[in-house]
Structure 1
Amino acid sequence: MTREERLLAAVIDAVDTLVDDFDLIDFLHTLCDRCTELLDVSAVGVMLEDPSGKLQLIAASDEHTRLLELFALQHDEGPCVECHRSGTLRLNIDLTCPVETSPFPVFAARAREVGFVVTHALPMRLRAKVIGALNLFDPRPQTLSAADVRVAQALADVATIAILQHRTVAHANQQRAQMRAALISRVVIEQAKGILAERWNTGVDDAFDALRRHARSHQLGLTQLCRQIIDGHLDTDTIPRP
């Protein structure tokens, strides 16, 4: 395939986040593969922030890169960490240059030990929201061309949109599931209230108050208690009458 066709394939991969069985880890490992195919680099790592805002390594193109990225997180330094904090890209960093690596000397030393001499970090950002960083490494002392920079940022942007879309869909599905569970619980509670009100010849409000008090005093969920009553697993005579 041509470079344009491979880039289009990467975009299609991102569109697949709309399906129900989307696998985020597999998607990000595919992103690493796309980067090494499309860009003149040897290794790739992807870091994303967790719900607390802390960076986590999610995918890497090989084991050496994975361990290097974990080292960066452990020491809280490196171009990727700075890129995530600032939301700005860092390109053509010479890992053998003390001046360029002065903000992260420990990381630079470990990267050289692995065999890398140049690195790049691109923000995974949508407008003002930065969710992580895409990190590129190479053992050859060469710079990233302007065309490669555009492709790399395009890949990072597409991945960011895909991830945020996936999170939105997942959140919406969670909210729908919670609403369905709430509606089901409401029906169960109404049924249990009716059972008690009929057996006690009392109002449903009094029956509901009795249910809530019994559930709390026995550290039971209200829905759980009501299900036991409906299923006949609980003797309602054990519930104090209002």
Structure 2
Amino acid sequence: MSTPTDPFSDAVAGITALLAARHDGLTVLAAVTRACGAVLDSAATGVLTVDPRGGVSVLSASDERARFLELLQAQGGPGPCLDCIDGNSVVGSADLAAEQRWPEFTGRARAAGYQAVYAFPLTLIDRAVGGVNLFYDHPVELSTRQARQAQALADLATLGLTQERDQRRVVRLAESTLATLNDRVHVGQAVGVVAATLGIEPDAARERLAAYSSRSGLSLREVAQAVTDRTLDPHTTFGDA
């Protein structure tokens, strides 16, 4: 008799394997965003982090709608993830129709089709250095178990940025964050190349890059590099995906 699978255990095992193999932060964050959808049934997931150069920046998002809302917060607009970072605590709204804390964000989120949002802190040495946002297309109250799972995934995202154990982790986080931001820009360029070459939407191109990364064992950074330096041909590599 086959043993039932546990999506959370499977997700943690997969992310832990990436950490053990010391994959780059962008690859780990991409795995965390996918896990949030699979484990917590979020319609979309986004990750913001404190930028060592000032303010906050978008590190990862599961689709372009979520990326836009994360960017809205990164540009200084009030929102759940910024409150989560400021207070180093979970911030959420089970029903955005009744939400009054972030008028602009709430209006944009609802216009994009989202009806609930939760933010979980990326915590390092007792302070929040970022946050994971979960977006839902219907009102939803997360259970205690789901909240614990979400925080565990956020903690794994933090480990993906730095694996040091002492105060050096702060320095390492700044270095890793800058590297991950640079990787995100590079992956964005590769997404543009694949999307334009194949005539598909950016979200579809991003999914094909992630799928190839998973199949090949290459990090997203390496796949993006291969696309932009023309080592990988979009037609032959991603055209049949």
TM-score by length of 1: 0.62
- Which residue pairs with 1:82 in the alignment? 83
Residue identity matched to 1:152: A
- Which residue pairs with 1:5 in the alignment? 10
| Consecutive unaligned residues in structure 1, runs of 5 or more | 175-242
CA drift at 1:66? 0.4
The 1-side partners of 2:14 and 2:21 are apart by 11
Q: Which residues in structure 2 correspond to 1:188-199 (within 5 Å)?
A: none
The 2-side partners of 1:162 and 1:56 are apart by 16
C-alpha change, 1:170 and 1:124, in structure 2 (3 Å) is closer
- Which residue pairs with 2:220 in the alignment? none
CA drift at 1:28? 1.1
Secondary structure at the residue paired with 2:100? Answer: coil
C-alpha change, 1:155 and 1:165, in structure 2 (3 Å) is same
Mapped contact 2:94–2:140 kept (Cα < 8 A): no
- Which residue pairs with 2:51 in the alignment? 50
- Which residue pairs with 2:123 in the alignment? 125
Q: Deviations over 1:39-81 (max 9, x none)?
A: 1211100011111352100110001110111112224210001
Calculate the aligned-residue CA RMSD, in Å: 2.3
CA drift at 1:91? 3.0
Q: Deviations over 1:169-217 (max 9, x none)?
A: 995xx9xxxxxxxxxxxxxxxxxxxxxxxxxxxxxxxxxxxxxxxxxxx
- Which residue pairs with 2:205 in the alignment? none
1:23 aligned to 2:24?
A: yes
- Give the share of equivalent positions with the same residue, in percent: 33
Mapped contact 1:92–1:144 kept (Cα < 8 A): no
Mapped contact 1:46–1:133 kept (Cα < 8 A): yes
| Consecutive unaligned residues in structure 2, runs of 5 or more | 176-241
The 1-side partners of 2:70 and 2:37 are apart by 17
Q: Which has the larger radius of gyration?
A: 1
Structure with more relative contact order (C-alpha pairs < 8 Å, separation 6 or more): 2
1:14 aligned to 2:15?
A: no
Secondary structure at the residue paired with 1:144? Answer: coil
C-alpha change, 1:169 and 1:112, in structure 2 (3 Å) is closer
